[in-house]
Chains A and B, each alone.
Chain A
Amino acid sequence: MYHNRISEFVAGLLFGTGLIVSGMTDPAKVLGFLDLAGAWNPSLAFVMGGAILIGFFAFLIARTRTLTLLGGALHLPKATALDKRLVIGGLVFGAGWGLAGFCPGPALVAMAMGQPKALVFVLAMLAGMQLYEMLERRRSTR
């Protein structure tokens, strides 16, 4: 059991480290990528490229398995519907991403660096997530 705990921690640590190495914890760099009409910084595309290069093979292996390497359950997403929620959620997220230059992962890392604005962002993000949970609960009780 504790193997899982260690691995979860290491995955988080690797993920945070990858974000720092890639430079994506700096919103200025992210906004530089999203600013096609200004001085464009293609760096983020290279981050995605490097990540997908490794991820592609990892999920190729994952698809052939029903259990993890430690023998636990392997949870691959089952949803296939291309619904409105997916698009609307993506658009809302993208608008917020473009406003501040933060997505959830880099915001957490920047907060841990001691950036006060990143802390404010994370608190607002948690509030937004809570708003979603409240709407979902109302939807399910109706």
Chain B
Amino acid sequence: MMIDWSNFTPWAALAGGVVLGLAAALFILVNGRILGISGIVGGLLTPRKGDVVWRLCFVAGVLMAPVSYRLIATVAAVHIEAGLPTIVVAGLLVGFGTRYGSGCTSGHGVCGLSRLSPRSLVATLAFMGAGFVTVLLVRHVIG
């Protein structure tokens, strides 16, 4: 195995992870909910009375993050290699898959693994595994 040392940022990754953990902690202990992006966003597509405002408040916070972050520091550049057709297919798969499997990297990966949920472990292994295989196919077999 070859490590990409030039782009490996363990301290920033760990610090960012701790902030993600604090967000999840705040959300479960104060708001009583699992911080799962796909579930929170997906729930907005079938709005039910009394179940909309909390989702919008949370999403507004997420969308404000780059705006407030720019006031104190520079936001790192984003490199999106995939072309538009790939982006569309990927978005459809991510949208459908996260709802069908009841969660994504935040709900299953962070919250689920934190509470030692067997369901979330299975889901995380499935999406990590599929992610590894997809990149292998795209970059090394087809590409």
Q: Do A and B come from one complex?
A: yes
B-binding residues in A (CB < 8 A): 4-5, 7-29, 31-32, 34-59, 61-63, 65, 67-70, 72-77, 79-82, 85-105, 107-113, 115, 117-118, 120-133
| Given A36-B136, A129-B45, A93-B18 contact (CB < 8 Å) | no
Asked if A115 and B78 make an inter-chain contact with CB atoms under 8 angstroms apart, the answer reads yes
| Given A108-B63, A133-B45, A22-B12 contact (CB < 8 Å) | yes
Q: SS class of chain B's interface: helix, strand, loop or mixed?
A: helix
Number of interface residues of B (CB under 8 A): 111
Residues 17 to 35 of chain B near chain A (Cβ within 8 Å): 17-35
Asked if A92 and B115 make an inter-chain contact with CB atoms under 8 angstroms apart, the answer reads no
Asked if A26 and B91 make an inter-chain contact with CB atoms under 8 angstroms apart, the answer reads no
Asked if A46 and B13 make an inter-chain contact with CB atoms under 8 angstroms apart, the answer reads yes
| Given A74-B28, A108-B62, A108-B63, A95-B17 contact (CB < 8 Å) | no
Residues of B within 8 A of A45 (CB): 13
Asked if B92 and A124 make an inter-chain contact with CB atoms under 8 angstroms apart, the answer reads yes
Bound CA–CA A42/B9 (angstroms): 8
The minimal Cβ–Cβ distance linking A70 to chain B, given in whole angstroms, is 6
Residues of B within 8 A of A42 (CB): 3, 8, 10
Closest to A80 in B: B119
Query: Which residue from B31, B37, B109 sits with its C-beta under 8 Å from A48?
Result: B109
Asked if A75 and B32 make an inter-chain contact with CB atoms under 8 angstroms apart, the answer reads yes
Asked if A10 and B61 make an inter-chain contact with CB atoms under 8 angstroms apart, the answer reads yes
Residues of B within 8 A of A52 (CB): 17, 21, 110, 113-114
Residues of A within 8 A of B111 (CB): 55, 59
The minimal Cβ–Cβ distance linking B89 to chain A, given in whole angstroms, is 6
Asked if B31 and A68 make an inter-chain contact with CB atoms under 8 angstroms apart, the answer reads yes
Bound CA–CA A126/B76 (angstroms): 26
The minimal Cβ–Cβ distance linking A57 to chain B, given in whole angstroms, is 8
Apart from A8-B58, A51-B21, A127-B95, 7 more pairs, CB < 8 Å = A8-B57, A15-B24, A21-B19, A28-B79, A50-B17, A101-B82, A126-B45
| Given A90-B97, A90-B101, A124-B20 contact (CB < 8 Å) | no
Asked if A109 and B118 make an inter-chain contact with CB atoms under 8 angstroms apart, the answer reads no
Asked if A91 and B16 make an inter-chain contact with CB atoms under 8 angstroms apart, the answer reads no
| Given A18-B20, A124-B87, A125-B94, A117-B25 contact (CB < 8 Å) | no
